[in-house]
Structure formats: structure tokens, C-alpha cells
Amino acid sequence: MELPDGKGYLGYAVYGAAPSPHRIPIVYHTGTPGCRLNSRTMHAWGQSQGITFIALERPGYGISTWHKSSILEHTQNAIYLVEEHLGYRKYDVYGVSGGGPYALAHAYCAGRSAVRGTAIMCGATPPDAPRLGQSFARWWWEMMITFHPPLNRPEAVRICRNMKLRREKNPTQEEKLKYLVEDESYKQGVDGYLYDYSYFNQNWGFRLEDIDANPIIMYYGEHDTDTPVSGAHYIKKRIKAARLKVFEGADHHGVQDNVWDLLRELRKLA
């Protein structure tokens, strides 16, 4: 979709059940890095459940035009796509990891009238939230990116190169999909990734206390060292509609095994 402000295009993909004005879709804000192809893993499940997924890309990922943005600016473009371009007036929102701030911003900007419910899976937390439980390596990388993304471009390029070198020579179907998503996410380079990281470690542009939303369901892992549960408790205390479930023994990736339970719970909010 061409952006209304003329800055380029916002990439998206539709998976799961065939789009219909009679369905309430799930708008999917992917993790960091990520692209519209992330939701391919949800296609079969969406078809079986009669659910349409609309997966959005942020600037610099996949086919979305790279430009400097912000959490609120991208969210307003996402709302335009869903409500004006695609014509949906009621929908659910789902954000995972780096997509968590965008899902919360979506609930904030679109409000109760449009967003029926919001689901957050191990979402990134605000910069003023506690980091108790986060690894030092993760914290240091986030701080380095936040204060000057271009300086970290060589390191991000090195990470991408090493990621490709570690790939299996005879990958499974699941691994092939993972590699496809990685290649698509980085095909414009690493700036989308670097600035995406920097945005959710800066002021988000809105206060959590000002989110007047329908229920917000959050799943976090007890032993997540990327997006620690201490930050999730911080969010829960500030959003009246927020519900938090913590999974014992789960880390950042392990908690995501509960994605189908989270999405089922989201759909029960009807």
C-alpha cells in the first residue's frame, strides 16, 4: 500500500482464512527483525479456525520503503491500511517481541471502537521499565543501537553474515521458512532492524496509563532474558485492561510455543 504521506509503501500480507467483511481479522505486528512472511506459519491454523491474519511490515523490512519513522507514525499508517485501505472497522491486534510496542500503540491510537482485543507475546517494554532479568549482552546491544544506530551498522552486517554461515546445509521445511523470513527481512540491508530497535528503546510517544482499551492479554516467560517479565509487570500496573500470564521456566523463545493458546484466548474476547 502506498503511504498517505507519500514516503513510499507499507508491505503487508494476508494469510489464513480468505478475507471477508464478515470476519474479524487479527492484525499482526511482527517481531524484530521481521517481515510480512512471518505469518506464513499461521496460515494453516488460520484456515482451520476461520481467522484471517494481516501481517504488517515496518520501514526497511521486506517490501516496506525505508524511512526514519517512530512507533506512533508507523502505527497510524498501519491503522490507515487496516481501516481505510482494507476497510475493516473491527479487528483484533497481536504483537510479538519487538512488535509488542506497536500493538500497544495500535490499541492506544485506534481505541475500543476498532480494536476488540490485543494480545502481546513477550513484547518489548518501555525504556523506563525495569530491566531486572535482562542479560547484560542484550541490554548493552540495545543501548548501543538506541543512541546511534549508524555506528552499529558494521556489527549488524557481521551478525547477518554469521547467521547465514550457520545455516543447515540440508534444512527442514521449518528451517527453510525461517531462512526465507530472514532473507526477506534483511533484503534492503540492516537499517530497518537498527532503527526498529532504537524506536522501542526511546520514548514511545504515549503514556501506558492513557491506553483506554478493551482487554490486553500478555504472555511472558519467567526466564526471558531478552524482554524480562519485570517489564511486563510494569506494563500491567499502568494499563487497567491488561492481564498477565507468566510461564514458569520459559525463556523468550520457549514462551512462544504457547502462541495458539494466546490467540484462542484473544478470540474468546468476542
For 168-187, the pLDDT digits (tens) are 889 998 888 889 999 999 99
d(CA 54, CA 12): 7
Residue 204 in contact with residue 72, Cβ under 8 Å? yes
Q: What is the pLDDT of residue 270?
A: 64
233 CB-side CA count, 13 A = 10
User: For all residues of the chain together, what is the average pLDDT?
Assistant: 93
pLDDT of 70-109, one tens digit each? 999 999 999 989 999 999 999 999 999 999 999 999 999 9
Choosing among 3.40.50.450, 3.40.220.10, 3.40.50.1820, 1.10.10.10, the CATH entry for 12-267 is 3.40.50.1820
What is the pLDDT averaged over residues 240-262?
96
pLDDT of 220 over the 90 cut: yes
Which of 117, 100, 119, 112 shows the shortest CA–CA distance to 204? 100
Q: Please state, for a pLDDT cut of 90, what percent of the chain lies above it.
A: 75
Predicted confidence band of residue 21 (pLDDT cuts 50, 70, 90): confident
Domain boundaries, the chain: 12-267
Who wins on pLDDT, 19 or 97? Answer: 97
Tell me the C-alpha distance between 230 and 93, whole Å: 23
Residue 5 has pLDDT above 90, yes or no: no
Q: For position 205, what pLDDT does the model report?
A: 95
**How many helices, marked H, and strands, marked E, lie in the chain?**
9, 7
Report d(CA 198, CA 150) in Å as an integer.
Answer: 11
Q: How many other C-beta atoms can be found within 10 angstroms of the C-beta atom of residue 197?
A: 21
**CA-closest candidate to residue 106, choices 3, 32, 42, 28:** 28
